[in-house]
Structure 1
Amino acid sequence: MTTASARSDRRISPVFLGIVAVAAVSGWAVWTGTGYPYGLAVFVFVTAAWVVSLCLHEYAHARTALHSGDISVGAKGYLTLNPLAYTHALLSIVLPVLFVIMGGIGLPGGAVFIERGRIRGRWRHSLISAAGPLTNVLFALVCTAPFWLHALDGVPREFRYALAFLALLQVTAAILNFLPVPGLDGYGLIEPWLSYRIRRRVEPFAQFGLLAVFGVLWIPEVNHVFFDLVHGVLDSLGVSGLETECGRAAYRFWENWNEEYPVCAVSP
């Protein structure tokens, strides 16, 4: 009975499989140029793939916690990859998707509740926090693989643009998540190594960390430096700024992107 329950706790959710299916079908539509308008297919593909990455991000936290001693994550549904099982679905899925739609930035969310009292060892606590953004790093490497492997022959231009924009989202999410700001994974990585007094003083600000980062990014000078860093990383992976901008423009197809970015214009 216990074994059967454990297996059901780790069975991949149909909700997640449905999101993967949407990403696959819309990705095929972008690749083949099926459907109209082209930008709508890019929008659905990138959004669905972004949600998949969010689910994998939280799964990485939960799976690492499981192997570190928190066996409660299974009963909470975190190992099923079901986004509806998250503690804060609004912060974990809805807000990150809205941030992508509004500004084209992969702002991280916060979701799974880890029972830290079950875990022993500072390194394990740090690894749990690092597991999520490391998933974004891996996702970015997968998205950019055709670029840094110089394997773009035969890849449609439209699909290349979509991959470039999806990679930008993953890189922004990884960088932001690694910031040592209370409420983000970067702070969770260093928190076990801080004194009890410092942790208690910082704790009340954790709930505002994500909003603070979002607010600071609206400062033009900060935004400029941040995206210089993002594009520097993407350039090192073989993805040009033009490709990411064309992908962003296609994603926001409702802004008449063909007129603003004539060099990106593609046949529907």
Structure 2
Amino acid sequence: MTTATARPSDRRISPVFLGIVAVAAVTGWATWTGFAEQPGLAVFLFVTAAWVVSLCLHEYAHARTALHSGDVSVGAKGYLTLNPVKYTHALLSIVLPVLFVIMGGIGLPGGAVFIERGRIRGRWRHSLISAAGPLTNVLFAVVCTAPFWLDALDGVPRDFRLALAFLALLQVTAAILNFLPVPGLDGYGVIEPWLSYQVRRQVEPLAPFGLLIVFALLWIPAVNGVFFDAVDALLRGLGIGEADTYCGFELYRFWQTDELCSVSP
């Protein structure tokens, strides 16, 4: 087994990750119970911590799949510890995605783990490694939306419901954007093994700019409108209304006030 060469210490969960999980748990409890004097601050910390947790799980899924596909080097690189600072670069993997959330409520993907592709044989394995990350966002979205599509919201406090709705929005946008077949994103990584060598060589120079291109396109009002219309339609199918995600985003940005969301929708 390829996992035999990975030392137990290489797979030990990082205290940094456990600390982030603890922040999400405590602030989630504060949001649920209304314990915090400033509910918006509790929601901000809860959603941000949960979002960082999902980023760590996204990168971990890439690394874990690569490990079982033949790249045993991921253990020594620290990718199996769920430590966010081990994933490529803390600025690209964690800081920028959080800033994107604060600025526009968009779950843009962060950096990626470095996989030694030469160790891996088989196009399906390469595709699965790339797909593993966004599939984690899909799973996270299913969990966040479960109370809505299961019609199990009785007794769920308003602030916690809005926080879940906004967190679900982030996961859905992250999954969709990650699956775009744009060089540098996971969607392109899924199809890349099946492309000809000539095509791969031609698009390779665009890979470092793929994320920036997507970010720039989303600032175009027409593109942004079409994208979020699709996201809202998907969320409505999962039982989450646009008012929930909008008020969740406004509650998340607690330093701003919106009278439309000051009362329970």
Q: Which residue of 2 aligns with 1:70?
A: 71
Percent identity, aligned pairs only, is 79
Cα displacement (A) at 1:253: 1.0
Which amino acid in the other structure matches residue 246 of structure 2? E
* Closer/same/farther in 2, CA of residues 25 and 4 from structure 1, 3 Å limit: farther
Query: Match of 2:255, SS?
Result: helix
Q: Which residue of 2 aligns with 1:16?
A: 17
Cα displacement (A) at 1:260: 4.7
Q: How does 1:59-208 map to 2 (within 5 A)?
A: 59-208=60-209
Cα displacement (A) at 1:263: 3.8
Q: Which runs of 5+ in 1 are unaligned?
A: none
Q: Is the 8 A contact 1:89 1:111 kept in 2?
A: no
Residue-by-residue CA offset, 1:149-200 (whole Å, 9 max, x unaligned): 1111111111000000000000000000000000000000000000111111
Q: Is the 8 A contact 1:110 1:184 kept in 2?
A: no
Query: Match of 2:182, SS?
Result: coil
Q: Is the 8 A contact 2:24 2:47 kept in 1?
A: yes
Q: How does 1:244-259 map to 2 (within 5 A)?
A: 244-257=245-258, 259=259
Cα displacement (A) at 1:255: 1.1
Q: Is the 8 A contact 1:165 1:243 kept in 2?
A: yes
Residue-by-residue CA offset, 1:23-51 (whole Å, 9 max, x unaligned): 00000000000112110000000000000
Cα distance in 2, alignment partners of residues 183 and 109 from structure 1: 11
Query: Match of 1:35, SS?
Result: coil
Which amino acid in the other structure matches residue 210 of structure 2? G
Q: Is the 8 A contact 2:6 2:75 kept in 1?
A: no
Q: Which residue of 1 aligns with 2:241?
A: 240
Cα displacement (A) at 1:4: 10
Structure 1 stretches of 4+ with a deviation exceeding 2 A read: 2-5, 259-265
Cα distance in 2, alignment partners of residues 212 and 4 from structure 1: 39
Q: Please provide the CA RMSD for this pair.
A: 1.5
Q: Is the 8 A contact 1:39 1:250 kept in 2?
A: yes
TM-score by length of 1: 0.95
Q: Which runs of 5+ in 2 are unaligned?
A: none
Cα displacement (A) at 1:109: 1.0
TM-score by length of 2: 0.96
Cα distance in 2, alignment partners of residues 18 and 4 from structure 1: 28
